[in-house]
Structures are given as C-alpha cells and as structure tokens.
Amino acid sequence: MTSFKEFADACETIEGIASSLEMTTVVSSLLRRISESGDPDTELAIVSRFIMGRVFPDWSDFELGVGPSLLYDAISRASGLQVLRIKQLVRETGDVGETAKVALEKGDEASKAQTTFLDFAGAGGTAPEAGQTITIADVFERMNSIAHASGKGSQQTKVKHLQYLFGTTSPVESKYLARIVLEELRIGVGEGIVRDAIAEAFGEDVGAVERAYMLINDLGEVCVTALHHDLDAVAIRIGRPIKLMLAQLGSFNDITTVYAIEWKFDGTRVQIHKDRDHVRIFSRRLEDVTNSLPDIVKLVKSKITANQAILDGEVVAVGDDGKPLAFQEILKRFRRKYDISAMVQKIPLYLNLFDIMYLDRVSLIDEDLYTRRARLEGIVEPHEKFSVAEQVLTDDPAVAHAVYRAALDAGHEGVMLKNPDSVYSPGKRGKNWLKVKPIMETLDLIVVGADWGEGRRANLIGSYLLACYDADTGEFLEIGRVGTGITDEQLSELTELFSQYIISEVGSAIELKPAVVFEIAYEELQKSKHYASGYALRFPRLVRVRFDKTPEDADSVERVERLAGGGRGL
C-alpha cells in the first residue's frame, strides 16, 4: 500500500520544477513505484487522476460537492483554529493548500487533541490515531464517501470525513489534500504530462496511450491498462463518451480535391449513445446531459433503427421563424434541472446528425467518411425535428460558397469542409475537418444617412448609411449600408433615436447628423468606386450601437484599408 505522503512528496518535488520533461520523469517514477505496491491497479488509477487535481474520471457524474466554506470548516476543526483565522490565512497565502499546511502546523495542540474525541461515527470510522499513516486508497475511499453523501445531514457527514483526513495527514500532505478537495492541484501537471509519464513508466508507445485515452476518456484506467501492456485491446464502449473530433479554421482555397460540404450549424455539439432502450447524451465537454434533453432521447429511441449506435451531431434551438436562437437559449435547455417539460415546449430543439462512430458492436472510427455517412443514413428515420445533415460533395469552391451563403442566410455559422477519405480521429483538431466562418473583426462606423422602409415598414427607418472617419480632413467617408441584424423591436427604437438627428429628407432618403456609431460585422471588404472611402462592405450586419463612442472615435479609413488588405479571400 502506498502512503498518501509519497504522493504529497512527489507533488512537492514537482512544484519546484519548471521543465515539463522533468515533471514527466517524476510522475513516471511515482507510477513505477506504485506499480510495485500491493494493489497497483487501484492505486495507479487514483494517482493518475490525483496528480492532475481530479478525483473522479472525466466521464463520471460523481462530484465531491465541497466548496471553500465546508473545507475551511473541516480545516478549522482539525487544526483547532477558528474559521475566521482560516479565512484570514487564505487571504494571506492566496492558497487553500498553504492555508491547510500552516493551520495544521500552527494549530493549537490542545484543541487539536480535542478533535480526537469527536464523534466520527457519522463519517463511518473511528477517530484517527496519532502517528497513523494514511494511504492513497484511504484518501480516495473517504472522497468517494463524501461524493455519495446526500440528503439531510450530508454536509455534516462531508465535514467529518474531511476532518478525519486532515486529522490524519501531516502538514505537507494536508496542503495537497486541500487542493485536491477543491480540484485545483496547481502543480502544472496536465493530461499531456500524465500521458507521457504512463508511456515512460511502462515502456509503452505514447501514441498508444493517447489513442486509448481518446477512446475511454479516463487516464486512470489507461494507466492500469498500460501496466498490463494491454493498450491495444482498448476499444470504444457504448455508454462511455469518446473524445470528439475537432475542426480547424480553413478557407475555400483549401478545396483542391473533392470535399464534403455541410452547414456549420449554430447550436451545440452532442454525442449520443444508444443501447437499445437506453440513451445517453453527452455535451461538448462530454458531460452527461441526458436528463435535460428528454425530447432528443425520445427521438433517438424511436427514429434510430440500430440497436446500438454512437452518434455525433449538433442540436439547434429554433425560433418561430425557423432560424436558430441565440446560444444562451440552448444553454437554458442544457442547464435546466427542474421543470424540464415546460422548457422542452418553450425552447424546441432540432437535432442534426453528421457522424457515426459505432454501430451494432462494430467501431466505425477507422472507416472513411463516405462509409460512415452511408451507415448513418441507413439507420435514421426522418422526422421534422431530426435529420442527417445535408452534405454536398464537390471540388468546386463556387459550389461550396453557395452552400456557405445558404447556411448564413438560414442564420447558421458557415460551413464545414470535410475530407471524405478521412477516418474519425477522436480528440484531434486537424485538416480533415475545416470550418469556414465569416471574418468576425468588426468595424465601428458612423451613421450618416438612412432610408425609410417599405410597405408596412414605411414609417420605420429600414437601412442605414455608414461611414468611416478621416482624421486628417475631419470628413466622414461613406462605406456601405446596413439593414440586416436589426430586430423589429430595434427598428422602432432606432427610428425614435435617429428622429432627432434628421437634417433633411428627399423621397425615402434621409440625411442624418453624424452622431451615432454602429458596430458592424461583415464578410468581406471590397474595393469600390461607389463610396467615398473607396471600399464597400459585403454582407454587413449590425452587432450593436456603440453609445460609448463619439463619431470621432469611429474607425479610420486607414484601419479599413488595413483590414481590406489583410482579409482572407474566399
């Protein structure tokens, strides 16, 4: 059995090191030493997580549920110092770890002794004895009990477990214990170092360790598998989220051969696991969000014909006009813990599926996109709220651009360009998936004119004439018009705002006193003879009114020139 002290000593060593190579060596020798202990499987799994400041595997729903005040309470009880004094120490040291260490060093011996007489029955154990050493597995067991404590009296139980731990650990151990409890170890060891350390400790290939991690999402289990030299056997498991394949920025110039073009939907990613009647849904961060999405669960159960499948897709919240709602609306659905059915009605979700990683006991990640896509299409029954994302196969940038325009017009973000020959690479951001979105650098422009709307909007201003500022001459140089991105509500608010600045009107055209600055997003800046600035905005969209800016604070014609030069051609 390995003592927690051995772990704490390794942390102390690592804290004094800056080089990640050296850190890797310290972690790998710790792992090797533990592999020779009495129960390496249990201890290696725990330590691989503890060393990154995590208690439970990423895929697990367990949480300690211990906030700072509970922790201070426990340190106070174990050290005999008042909670106020603990808080003061936190302020002085800026670190709960140092606080725990100092508190236990300074702690008033008499009051500390008293803690041994406290009732530990609720914490499922006897009082710690002086000089007793605590093992890594003991610490984890206590943390497990803390995570499981629920209902009435659970706070009390948690504090008692923590008090027990702080009562048993030395000051140095308590430093790292306190930090792990808040899941902030702060020694600079992340996933990359643990991955390399596992490979180094057990003579395995880093790539093999990485692959296993991407598939089962738990470095603790990967570490134990590496010890047994069994990494090749690691496979996708239904119910355990795998890391998502990611995209990097691209442009239409990247289309040199056939690409699969799909809309880049403006929603949020989901990974769906279906195992007959059991459906689990994981978020972009691979957290289990099944309970918040009963509508999606139902659709998957009834519209996916396969017995078992792992699917990749994007859910979109749709408004009455069929366009995607703001991201915050989707968040409301994902975060909802109660009254979920009301929310399902209020914010309906639409699911676009675009990939499949597993089908009826067979992993598909090593198949190409053509094959995966065909499998996906074969198991989805169409439904009004549920579909396989449309895909266009083309090597023509103009065709891809047309899809892009259609996606933007529908209120989505742009397009994805996918290499149809590529495998599904979990956790990888590479060239096989490229995202193309509008350039988002905005311009702050002065409103110098406007036009009355038409039809039922004849009494509202429908579009605005924009200008940039020439500081040399003090002139406002026109650059384009904006009428998009303005909601109905904003249309009337803005009409009211601008009524005070109207200088003259000819037909539907209005001349305005330069007073208001708009922040404008656009897709491209083109050279133009039509406007005095020499440039025109393509697809401009109002982001917001910059009430904090005066016309002289608006962007200069020089900045426009710079942006036009630096723009990424489509």
Q: Footprint of ligand AMP on this chain (CB under 6 A)?
A: 247, 262-265, 269, 314, 354, 389, 416, 435
Cα(91)–Cα(86) distance, integer angstroms: 9
Cα(547)–Cα(415) distance, integer angstroms: 33
* Residue nearer to ligand AMP on the CB measure, 231 or 270: 270
Q: Largest Cα–Cα distance of the chain, in whole Å?
A: 92
* Residue nearer to ligand AMP on the CB measure, 182 or 286: 286
Four-residue CA torsion sign, 542, 545, 551, 552: negative
Say if residues 494 and 459 touch (Cβ distance below 8 Å). Answer: no
Collapsed DSSP state (helix, strand, coil) of residue 487 = coil
Question: Which H or E run includes 509?
Answer: strand 509-512
Cα(354)–Cα(373) distance, integer angstroms: 8
* Residue nearer to ligand AMP on the CB measure, 374 or 503: 374
264 in active site: yes
Q: How many CB atoms lie within 10 A of CB 69?
A: 12
Collapsed DSSP state (helix, strand, coil) of residue 316 = strand
Query: Least distance in Å: CB of 394 to ligand AMP?
Result: 15
* Residue nearer to ligand AMP on the CB measure, 502 or 543: 543
Of 101, 264, 418, 428, the active-site residue reads 264
Structure tokens at 470: 């020439």
* Residue nearer to ligand AMP on the CB measure, 230 or 377: 377
Q: Which of 193, 278, 188, 297 is nearest to 238 (CA)?
A: 278
* Residue nearer to ligand AMP on the CB measure, 221 or 312: 312
* Residue nearer to ligand AMP on the CB measure, 286 or 491: 286
Query: Least distance in Å: CB of 447 to ligand AMP?
Result: 31
Which residue number places its CB atom closest to ligand AMP? Answer: 269
Cα(171)–Cα(173) distance, integer angstroms: 5
Collapsed DSSP state (helix, strand, coil) of residue 459 = coil
Collapsed DSSP state (helix, strand, coil) of residue 54 = coil
CA distance to 157, 231, 452, 497, 510, per residue, from 460 (Å): 64, 67, 6, 11, 12
Four-residue CA torsion sign, 135, 141, 143, 146: negative
* Residue nearer to ligand AMP on the CB measure, 87 or 269: 269
Give the number of C-alpha atoms closer than 13 A to the C-alpha of residue 458, restricted to the C-beta side: 3
Give the number of C-alpha atoms closer than 13 A to the C-alpha of residue 330, restricted to the C-beta side: 21
Say if residues 462 and 483 touch (Cβ distance below 8 Å). Answer: yes
* Residue nearer to ligand AMP on the CB measure, 43 or 262: 262
Say if residues 320 and 356 touch (Cβ distance below 8 Å). Answer: no
DSSP character at residue 221: H
Say if residues 251 and 436 touch (Cβ distance below 8 Å). Answer: yes
Query: Least distance in Å: CB of 276 to ligand AMP?
Result: 27
DSSP character at residue 37: S
Query: Least distance in Å: CB of 354 to ligand AMP?
Result: 4
Q: How many CB atoms lie within 10 A of CB 395?
A: 11
Say if residues 403 and 263 touch (Cβ distance below 8 Å). Answer: yes
Say if residues 319 and 346 touch (Cβ distance below 8 Å). Answer: no
Q: With left for phi above 0 and alpha for psi between -120 and 50, is residue 566 left, alpha or beta?
A: alpha
* Residue nearer to ligand AMP on the CB measure, 230 or 441: 441
Say if residues 363 and 214 touch (Cβ distance below 8 Å). Answer: no
Question: Residues with catalytic annotation?
Answer: 264
